[in-house]
Each structure stands twice: as C-alpha cells, then as structure tokens.
Amino acid sequence: MARVVVDVMLKPEILDPQGQAVQRALPRLGFTGISDVRQGKRFELEVEGPVDEAALARIHDLAESFLANTVIEDFTVKVEEVAGAAE
Amino acid sequence: MSRTPLDTVDNAAATPDVELPWAELGLKKDEYERVVEILGRRPTGAELAMYSVMWSEHCSYKSSKVHLRQFGEKAPQSDAMLVGIGENAGVVDVGQGYAVTFKVESHNHPSYVEPYQGAATGVGGIVRDIIAMGARPVAVVDPLRFGAADHPDTKRVLPGVVAGIGGYGNCLGLPNIGGEVVFDACYQGNPLVNAGAIGVMRHEDIHLAKASGAGNKVILYGARTGGDGIGGASILASETFDDAKPSKRPAVQVGDPFQEKLLIECTLEAFQEKLVVGIQDLGAAGLSCATSELASNGSGGMRVTLDDVPLRDSTLSPEEILMSESQERMCAVVEPEKVDRFLEICEKWDVIATVIGEVTDGDRLEIFWHGGKIVDVDPRTVAHDGPVYERPYARPDWQDALQADDANKLPRPATAEELREQVLKLVASPNQASKKWITSQYDHFVQGNTVLAQPEDSGMIRVDEETGLGVAIATDGNGRYAKLDPYTGAQLALAEAYRNVATTGAKPLAVSDCLNFGSPEDPAVMWQFAEAVRGLADGCLQLGTPVTGGNVSLYNQTGEAAIHPTPVVAVLGVIDDVARRTPVAFQEEGQLLYLLGDTSEEFGGSAWSQVVHDHLGGLPPKVDLERERLLAEILISASRDGMIDSAHDLSDGGLIQAVVESALLGEKGARLIVPDGLDAFTFLLSESAGRALVAVPRSEELRFTDMCGARGLPATRIGVVDGDSVDIQGEFTLSLAELREAHENTIPALLA
C-alpha cells in the first residue's frame, strides 16, 4: 500500500474568504507576523497495488475531474512513503 | 500586460507606433481607431484597458442602445416613477412615503463556466446595485433557464447554480421569493442565470451615482482588489463560447457574502448620516466603470492615485487593477470634512476603506501610478460615448416556415383515456413539474416579512409592519413563444408577469427586464431583439407600467446556435395591506371555481405541444392587453373586497396545470365541468392569455359575478373545490395522490 496525496488550493488570483477569516483572527489571538493565509484541501488516497505511472495518471485524472474544481483551483499530486509499509 | 518603462501618457505621446493588444482585449479595429482619434494619440495600456471594458457589449450596450431608446420614448405617464433608466436601478413610489427599487440582471456566462460562484456573484452584484440607490435590500428572485433536464451537463450546472444562489442569498439574510426554472435544449451550452433584487427606502433617502464638488474625496471600500475576473466584461460576456478556444476562459470571481453583508450595513449607515455625495458599486469593469461613470455623471473631473488601492496581490499591474472584477467593492464620493466619519463607520463594520482620489474642477479623469500619469481621458468618452451600432437586422427566412407549422393541427387525444394520460405526462414534465426541490434550497422567510414566495404567482414582501403595505414581484418569460413571434412573445412575458402580480392582489406599477439573446452580429438574432424590445415598449405603454431599468445579455449562443430569444420581464406591484393577498392554494371545499377570460384553440409554443409532440411551431397565443388590464382590475378588486379566496394565473400548461397546482397546494381536489362550446382538450390545455382561475366562496358568488358582468369580463363557472381528486366530469379522474407523485417526483429524480 502506498499513499498518494492530492493538495488542492484556490488559484492565487482567486479570493479565499476562509483564509482571510483565519488571517484576520490571528492578531486578535495574539499571533503576529503572518501577512497572508490561504486555506486548501488535502486528500490522502490509499492506493491498491503499485503506484506506477499508470496509477498516477489515473489519480491525476480523478483529481482534475473530481477533487479539484480546476476553474478556480490548482492541485498537486505527490506520493508519500507510508511508515512501516513494505516496498 | 505591464511594460517597462511605465506606459504613461507622456510615453504614449512620444511613442505613437507601439502596437497595443486591442484585438485581444475585444476591441474592433475601427473602435481602436476611434479611441486614438478621441485622445489625439495612442492610448496608454491603462487607457486601453478602460476603453476596452467600457466599450464592450456588456457595459456599453452598443448593439442594443438604438432599440432600448424606445423604453424612454414610449414610456407611459406614471406618477410612480421617481428615478428612471440610467441609474444603478429604477425607483418607484409605493405610497406612505416608501420607495422601492428593483432590477434584474444576467450572470449567464460566468454561471456556465463556474456554476456556484457564477450564480453567487450574480446575486452579489444585483444586491450592490440596490444598496447603491440607498435602499435596504429586502428580497431576491432568480429566473433560471437550463438545458434539457435529463442532459448530464444540466446535472453539473443546475445544482451548482442553485447552491450558489442559495448560499450567497442565505448568508446575506435575504429571502428568495420568486423566479422561474425552465428547461430547454437551446440553453444547453448557455444557461441563463438572471438575478433580481428589491430594495426599500424612504423617499428622502434616494441616492444617485455622481461625483460633484471639487475637492470631494473618492473612497474605495469593501474587499481588496485581486486578480479575479480580469477582462471578464470585455472577453467573457461579449464573445461567443467556442469550444476550440478554452484559453479564453479567464478566472472567474469568488464571492464572499459575509463581506457583502458588512458592505450593506456600512453603506446604509453612511447614507443615514448623510455622508455620501455619490456612490457606485463595482461590478463588471470594476474600477474602470466606477471612476468613469461617477466622474461623467458629476460636474467636474476626477484624479485617482492607483497606488492607494488596497490589493490582495501586490504584483498586479495598473491595467489589471483597473479591469479587476473583484467582488464586494463600492466607491463613494464624500465631502472632505465627512471623510473621517465615513472611515470610522467602515472601521466599525470591519470594512477596508481608502481614499484613492478626489473630484477636480476640470473635466478630465486622470489616474496616476508610481508618480506617472497613466490615464488622462474625458470620462464621458469612456462611460457614455462608446460606439453605437445600427446592426443590420432581418426577419429570418425560416420564420414563415416555423409559423406555418401550425401546432393546432397536431394530433389530439382521441379518447378520454388518452387525454388523461397526456395530462398526467404534462404535469410530470420537467417544465411543468413542481420546482420545490430547487426552491426549498433557498431561504424564503428570513427577516420575517415574506408574505408569499414560490410557488405562488408572485413573491410578496411586507414593507410596513404597522399598515401592512407590501410589494409583489413576478418574473416571466417564455422563449418558445418569443421564438415563434418575438414581438408577441415579449408582450406575453409582460402580460404574464403583470397578471401574476395582480392575481395575488397587488397593483402592477413598473417593469424591469433582462433581455437574453444570441449574437447581435447575426441579423436574425438582431431582428428578434428589435421585435422583442418594440413589443415590450408598446406593451408597457399600453399597460401604463414604465420600464425602470434592466439589462441586456447578448452572445448567448454556442457556435452558430443561438438560444431562443428570451426576454425575461419582472413586474413590480404594490398592495395596501398584505393581509388581503390572494394565494394559489384552494382554501375550502365547496367554493366555486370560475374561469375568467376567453379560451380559444391556441397551442402554438404550448407546453402540450412540447411534452406530447416535441413540437415548436405555429403562432403563440394572441395578446389583448386591454383585457389583461381589465382582468387585473377585477382580480385586485376581488382580493381587496374579499370576494375570492384563491386565484391562479393561467399560462403554460393551461387550465389543468393551474387546477392541479392549486389542488396540490391546498390539498383539496376539484370537480370540473367542460363548459358549453368547448371541447375538453381545448378547455384543459389551451394556453390562451388573459385568463385566471379563481375560487369564490358561495356567499360572494353573486357579488363577484355582478362585478365581472358590469365590467364586461367573461366569467364562466366551471366547477367546485371538492374531494381528493381532480375530476373532469364525463372525461376522467386523477387522484391527488397520483398527481402529487407525478408532479413532485420529476425534479428530484433527475437532479437530486
């Protein structure tokens, strides 16, 4: 078993009301020095079988068509080593 | 787009031969040459950005202007009009010192690209138009058109649009009280998402968008400016979608309804304290539009320092800042001594506000960036003197064949059994079925003043708690009728909205419209547009309801295929006491059902011809506006004097559709008798205009029929509210359970 992580973020030019709300809250709570906050989504996919090029292409497809709204969001796909998992 | 060195006015004058990307920004060659001629030199990049967005179809109305003039030229005399066309939204006097402002706009193209945010920001935009007039928004309505209900892409677009409207409106705390949902394959690649809003104010609080008084400060307040929706106006809304060019899809805007709520409260408080000289919301074309319109509506010029605009993204170029369509921003002109108080109010509401410039005593709009002057224009040439096109128009050669393909000659049901089947199929068809699954996603009752909401004939809001004064709004439009005959189709939309307002007991006062058509470069489409505007203007003149404003959306087509011409008409009415309103639902068994108006064989464009024969041809129903006016007067009098307990307008689907809806909503059946001189099929399914179904308590029958007789309105007793089925005597019976299953399951089954 391997884990593939898909990170989905709003495109940089798109307004992020949630991130903005977090950023506004920070100084109120005494956390200073943060100039901007952007909030995204992280998907952890446990993949059956080998994570080869074909599997990654499939995951890219599903991320593009389902996990991310590519009109307003970007995404990245990366493979993550799972601790204790057999190679 | 940013160039080095900075493209200042001086630089532009010194480098006349620099090629600018005017074509990419949507300008035509002769339009660009006109800009050069106006300025006496080539424009700077920033000037080009401004001209290109402000001269786009969406902002300049360059194709529609010559026709829209009729709304002014043929405007009926009306004491109710306080502010007419040209302002952010029209304002109507509703009595008791109250004024109401309302408007409908389109957000079609963005909603196809990104349904949720497109629809949400559509609501946001129309609400800002309302607050810019000084009114408190009290309700929204949403007329929607989608592709075929069973098409896979409809399942992508519709739920997103509905969730976006619900999400934004519900967060703002505005009830959604009306609108329509129509499915037709012609909207497959180009759904129509129109959004309307109503606002209420006292007469003395009306505000106009203008910047007067040299030295007054220009304050930008609301959200920071980011890179969203840049060029949306010029490229997105003014070009036809073309599958081959996906790169033409610019980033759409994301809305933040909580920011908008703060903007509403902050703006209204500033108005309350009389701090504002002029105000403008930032919608399409963003700062380009706000600065040039404010300046050109005022007496002087304006000087703006673009460096002072609060940015979300510090890498934006000045051209991008001028074109950005970031949501939830407004621009106010404030006298210098009131600036501190204005900023204080913004601070209190957690709204960022910045002085970005001031009104000057010249007549130029000058914009500076990093110390250089990058814009120096006459604001009127940007905002008002854009190109005006007398586009060629011609009645399409297929129009005759379409009209000759008479729907009245389609095979009709031969037996009572067949008629029953067709009725059942009709009330279950996506267009005629209950839209509860959609409208229940909107909050109808927030704020506690909603008197009527979907599926009533019009939405109604109480304006004054003491006196019960209220306003009603209905939106209607039938693209099928308009395709068969755009002139008549537009009048039918007007007549239906007018009738819907009167059916609930309110007196129709004024009209707003959202005219959705294909490409104006196609003479056939332009003919449809010209005919529809002529029809609407003539109709408004005859009914005495002036057009207060509205919106034109062109280029609604995919490739060569234009949508049906779809003029959506909103009629606003007033009711002295909302307690006298008339609902759709049958109230009490034993009440007598009367059909008001005349029924003849009219099936062109009808729901029956679509559902049973998948046919569109012939002529739409005839319009008799004098009859509509009489019918409205009778409905309003009957409501005020308590002569009727329920009423429903007859439109698509004919009488049977109205009976089924009233029966299901009231959970009471009806027994109907086919009147002499009519066959059952025509009686139930014809779509003759100028008709309504009313339920009259027996004690009021004589008074009601006397009134109709005295006024010359045909009133035919057709049955009685009774039982738990709809029984057409001698024909067929449909139980309410069976009707409910057919009528209410269609939409959830397709889209849930």
Dump pLDDT digits (tens) for B45-81.
889 989 988 998 888 899 999 999 998 888 888 878 8
- Per-residue pLDDT for B86 more than 80? no
When pLDDT is averaged across residues B422-447 and rounded to a whole number, the result is 95
Closest in B117, B313, B350 to A12, CB measured: B313
CA nearest to B256 within chain A = A17
Inter-chain CB proximity B117 and A72 less than 8 Å: yes
Query: How large is the C-alpha radius of gyration of chain B?
Result: 26
Structure tokens at B636: 């309003």
Backbone angles phi, psi at B484, to 5 degrees: -70, -35
B444: annotated active-site residue? no
When pLDDT is averaged across residues B639-644 and rounded to a whole number, the result is 96
Reported as a single tens digit per residue, the pLDDT across B646-659 is: 999 999 999 999 99
CA B701 distance to own-chain centroid: 38
- Per-residue pLDDT for B3 more than 70? no
**pLDDT, position B234:** 44
Reported as a single tens digit per residue, the pLDDT across B493-549 is: 999 999 999 999 999 999 999 999 999 999 999 999 999 999 999 999 999 999 998
CB within 8 A of B166, min separation 6: which ones?
B176, B441, B442, B443
**pLDDT, position B243:** 40
B58: annotated active-site residue? yes
When pLDDT is averaged across residues B729-740 and rounded to a whole number, the result is 96
Give B85's DSSP letter: B
Which of B121-130, B249-258, B604-613, B663-672 shows the lowest per-residue confidence on average (mean pLDDT)? B249-258
**pLDDT, position B248:** 38
When pLDDT is averaged across residues B327-331 and rounded to a whole number, the result is 93
Candidates B107, B564, B615, B743; catalytic one: B107
Q: What percentage of chain B reaches a pLDDT higher than 70?
A: 95
> With an 8 Å Cβ cutoff, is B249 touching chain A?
yes
Reported as a single tens digit per residue, the pLDDT across B90-138 is: 899 999 999 999 999 999 988 998 999 999 999 999 999 999 888 999 9
State how far residue B487 is from chain A, nearest Cα, in angstroms: 39
| Distance (Å, whole) CA B551 – CA B131 | 17
| Distance (Å, whole) CA B550 – CA B85 | 8
**pLDDT, position B341:** 97
Distances in Å between the Cα of B343 and the Cα atoms of B327, B349, B350, B415, B471 are: 20, 10, 10, 74, 34
| Distance (Å, whole) CA B175 – CA B116 | 18
Closest in A11, A17, A20 to B251, CB measured: A11
Buried b (16+ CB within 10 A) or exposed e, A14-39: bbbbebbeebeeeeeeeeeeeeeeee
> With an 8 Å Cβ cutoff, is A86 touching chain B?
no
CA nearest to B253 within chain A = A14
- Per-residue pLDDT for B242 more than 70? no
| Distance (Å, whole) CA B107 – CA B118 | 7
**pLDDT, position B251:** 62
Domains belonging to chain A, first-starting first, are 2-14+41-80 (3.30.1280.10)
**pLDDT, position B294:** 87
Inter-chain CB proximity A15 and B313 less than 8 Å: no
State how far residue B162 is from chain A, nearest Cα, in angstroms: 17
Neighbours of B413 (CB within 10 A): 18
**pLDDT, position B677:** 92
What string of DSSP letters covers B261-316?
Answer: HHHHHHHHHHHHTT--SEEEE-BTBHHHHHHHHHHHHSSSEEEEEGGGS-BSSTT-
Best of B236, B282, B312, B317 to mutate (most A CBs within 10 Å, chain A): B312
A54 in helix, strand or coil? helix
Q: Name the one residue in this structure whose structure tokens are 């959506």.
A: B568
Which of B2-11, B15-24, B323-332 shows the lowest per-residue confidence on average (mean pLDDT)? B2-11
Candidates B58, B207, B648, B743; catalytic one: B58
State how far residue B175 is from chain A, nearest Cα, in angstroms: 23
| Distance (Å, whole) CA B332 – CA B277 | 7
| Distance (Å, whole) CA B227 – CA B176 | 30
> With an 8 Å Cβ cutoff, is B311 touching chain A?
no
- Per-residue pLDDT for B212 more than 80? no
Chain B residues inside the 8 Å CB shell of A74? none
Element (H, E) at B13: helix B9-14
| Distance (Å, whole) CA B628 – CA B494 | 10
What string of DSSP letters covers B724-745?
Answer: TEEEETTTEEEEHHHHHHHHHH
Chain B residues inside the 8 Å CB shell of A11? 251
pTM score above 0.95: no
Inter-chain CB proximity B228 and A13 less than 8 Å: yes
Q: How many CB pairs under 8 A join A and B?
A: 43
State how far residue A16 is from chain B, nearest Cα, in angstroms: 8
Reported as a single tens digit per residue, the pLDDT across B300-309 is: 899 999 999 9
| Distance (Å, whole) CA B237 – CA B546 | 27
Which ipTM was obtained for this model? 0.73
| Distance (Å, whole) CA B559 – CA B141 | 30
Q: What average pLDDT does the structure give for chain B?
A: 91
Best of B228, B314, B352 to mutate (most A CBs within 10 Å, chain A): B228
Local confidence band at B140 (pLDDT 50, 70, 90 cut-offs): very high
**pLDDT, position B231:** 58
Structure tokens at B627: 């009859």
Chain B residues inside the 8 Å CB shell of A15? 223, 226, 228, 253-256, 312, 326-327
Encode chain A (87 residues) as per-residue pLDDT tens digits. 789 999 999 988 888 989 988 998 999 999 999 989 999 999 999 999 888 999 999 999 999 999 999 888 999 999 987 655 444
**pLDDT, position B284:** 81
Give B87's DSSP letter: B
**pLDDT, position B78:** 81
| Distance (Å, whole) CA B195 – CA B108 | 10
**pLDDT, position B384:** 87
> With an 8 Å Cβ cutoff, is B352 touching chain A?
no
> With an 8 Å Cβ cutoff, is B111 touching chain A?
no
> With an 8 Å Cβ cutoff, is B324 touching chain A?
no
At A29, the amino acid letter reads L
Inter-chain CB proximity B226 and A15 less than 8 Å: yes
- Per-residue pLDDT for B622 more than 90? yes
Pairwise pLDDT comparison (B217 vs B247), residue with the higher score:
B217
Chain B residues inside the 8 Å CB shell of A66? none
Binding residues of B for substrate: 106-109, 128, 253, 325-327, 553
